[in-house]
Structure 1
């Protein structure tokens, strides 16, 4: 088991879910159910409806602003900072999506990015969510330009200069490659030297796949808390939504940890 614990310690560096009952309380328009499906057993119908109400309220105000603003960059900048100020309070790794709606408004890069994605969906603005080894971020598209939404940077998280966006994306990938090389993450359990060359993840995911990453994070949180069977429940949901190789690997490992007795 000691060797396995080392592997999970490495997996936790990646940054990057009984739901049928609660789904009837969710509007199909908001898609909030994608990100709170693992919590339906613990949430009352009133809580779920309050989350949807809060979400609908901020969307409504943003739509009013959207109708009155002529500058696209000005509006998207307004969206980024208004949402961050009102909904994203305290950063904490591996929090649940519903924490955004609670008093401290805790979020991490996955849940913060997911909230922006849900907002932009409602506003009819195209975007792509980028998954890397240790981080996710969002790039919006409008009038032929890109706009960076970096949820973990409340002061300078919005950018529209192409050079700055390219530099920040390159930095994220460089950090992934550096950390992976140092930890020899690729091919960790392989004797094939060719498989041990450090690589990094840089791909785009849709909203459903982003939900998979969220539940992957929840599985890691439960595992780190020694709640192995809860971790396995989370990773199974993640794998069902987004069956990437790293999620499959974590699933196999968490199964052995949860049922080794």
Structure 2
């Protein structure tokens, strides 16, 4: 697909890239060289901006020594070209002197694909790189100027508001590719789907008009830092044309740091999508791309899409025992790269729920319980998570064979996770544990303790009369209490206990036999 070399954006530069809700996080930037990283760190971290270095950082032709000598040579030329003799001349003569001198010294051949460093390597330039060169020169010589952008061109105005002398570094048609019709249509459709373009506006104007309006925005005055952003944006487009989507994304992200815009965000989304689908290995790089895609909701990427892609990763890696560490690393990388708490919780839930299910099917209940509990923590009201947690907990408690400890564990979890108290599986397990302990206490001749657990059971059952309880367990518990009182000659009390049990388990065989024996 043909792409623009020159891209013009419209949002004022900020350092919002350090904010968590930004599309780009500085810590995730992939640098192509140590010099590039040093130049960025100096600007974004140490507030020691060197515009020449930032422009040279996007390259690889020159080593750091050559960059330093190029900078020294450039500024030395400006200081010694005799401009001080022109200061008494009219402004237009001053500008012409500088323009001709620089063009002759540094600019040899126009090339569509170009980086700023090439000016000092072979003399090749394009609209963006040459405009940057003249802007640096005007800064040095204290000639007032502005940088102007329009959809297919960037140029300088010297002495704005006075002579308004236009500095054309190349012809307006020389510095761009023609954008294809499908690209325009997809861009406009995306904005319409996201309601950034109203249906009324969409129907009133053709695609070309809307594309020009929203892709390029208003013609603006930009500064040199924003021009650095354009420099990186162009390079990202070169890489997209070459099929290097991930490398293009890295350049678009750098462009966004200097010159954020919806257009750059859209291009990042396109590049990230292409790079993500090109990756076959579900490694940390795959996770990083998925995390980045999660930030592009404005451009049509939904949380459901991210959850779906992560679900496919889980299906692929969970069954492979030798991939456990890889999966955990993937999850940690994805989780830390997502910026919204809501989506983080969804990813947390998916990971622990699916991992817990795998362990559960392998009868590894203790390990599974840990994951199911974390799934409950992520989504406390999820019926699937609560039921899985309780089912796994049931197996774990059965293995302990200590009913009192089971009651304590159940009550503890009910206190930690209040939604369990309205979960039928939890209520069944706790009620059954109370019943069992009720019967055991009477068998051990501890009626006071037995009545405590009897009351606890009846409270649960009375509050949820449809709760299914094991009828044999009801028969055992109430029969144990009845036998205790019968042996002590308290037949009436024994009958009352039996009748109470029959309220919860009508026609219970064991209770009916006990009742018949008491007559």
TM-score, normalised by the number of residues in structure 2: 0.40
**Matches of 1:131 and 1:222, distance apart in 2:** 23
Per the alignment, residue 38 of structure 1 pairs with 58
Of Structure 1 and Structure 2, the greater strand share is in 1
Task: Tell me the equivalent position of 1:20.
Answer: 37
1:145 is paired with a residue whose SS is coil
Q: Which residue of 1 aligns with 2:451?
A: none
Residues 94, 247 of structure 1: CA spacing in aligned structure 2 closer, same or farther, 3 A cutoff?
A: farther
Cα shift at 1:48: 1.0
* Residue 151 (structure 1) shift: 0.3
1:1-261, aligned counterparts within 5 Å?
9=2, 12-13=3-4, 15-16=6-7, 18=34, 19-21=36-38, 31-39=51-59, 43-62=62-81, 64-71=82-89, 72-103=91-122, 105-141=123-159, 144-153=162-171, 187-189=188-190, 190=192, 192=199, 194-195=201-202, 196-197=205-206, 198=209, 199-200=212-213, 201=216, 202-260=219-277, 261=279
Question: Greater shift after overlay, 191-200 or 16-25?
Answer: 16-25
How far apart in 2 are the matches of 1:76 and 1:88? 16
| Structure with larger Rg | 2
Tell me, in whole angstroms, the C-alpha distance in 1 between the residues paired with 2:40 and 2:257: 18
Stretches of structure 2 that go unaligned for 5 or more consecutive residues are: 8-30, 43-47, 194-198, 280-519
Q: Deviations over 1:155-196 (max 9, x none)?
A: xxxxxxxxxxxxxxxxx6xxx9xx899985672443736145
CA shift in 2, pair 1:68/1:241, >3 Å = closer
What whole-Å deviation, never above 9, does each CA across 1:15-34 have from its counterpart, x for those lacking one? 13842346799xx6862012
2:229–2:258 CA contact under 8 A, matched in 1: yes
Higher relative contact order (CA 8 A, sep 6+): 1
Pick closer, same or farther for the CA change 1:57–1:93 going to 2, 3 Å.
same
Question: In structure 2, what is the Cα distance between the partners aligned to 1:188 and 1:81?
Answer: 46
Structure in which a larger fraction of residues adopt helix = 2
The Cα of 1:60 is off from its aligned counterpart by: 1.0
Report the CA distance between 1:43 and its aligned residue: 3.7
Distance (whole Å) between structure 2 residues aligned to residue 85 and residue 106 of structure 1 = 12
C-alpha separation between the residues in 2 aligned to 1:120 and 1:134? 23
Matched residue SS, 2:138: helix
Partners of 1:128 and 1:151 lie apart in 2 by 14
CA distance in 2, matches of 1:250, 1:98: 24
Q: Which consecutive unaligned segments of at least 5 residues does structure 1 have? A: 1-5, 154-171
Q: Distance in 1 between matches of 2:184 and 2:257?
A: 28
CA distance in 2, matches of 1:35, 1:48: 10
Residues 125, 142 of structure 1: 8 Å contact kept: no
Q: Which whole-Å CA distance do the structure 2 matches of 1:35 and 1:79 have between them?
A: 21
| TM-score when normalising by structure 1 | 0.75
Partner secondary structure for residue 146 of structure 2: strand
Partner secondary structure for residue 136 of structure 1? strand
Match of 1:216, SS?
Answer: helix
Q: Counterparts of 2:189 and 2:108 in 1: how far apart (Å)?
A: 37
Name the counterpart of 1:167.
Answer: none
Name the residue aligned to 1:159.
none
User: Which deviates further from its counterpart, 90-99 or 65-74?
Assistant: 65-74
Contact 2:126 2:170 in 1 (8 A): yes
CA 1:52–1:59: 2 relative to 1, 3 Å? same
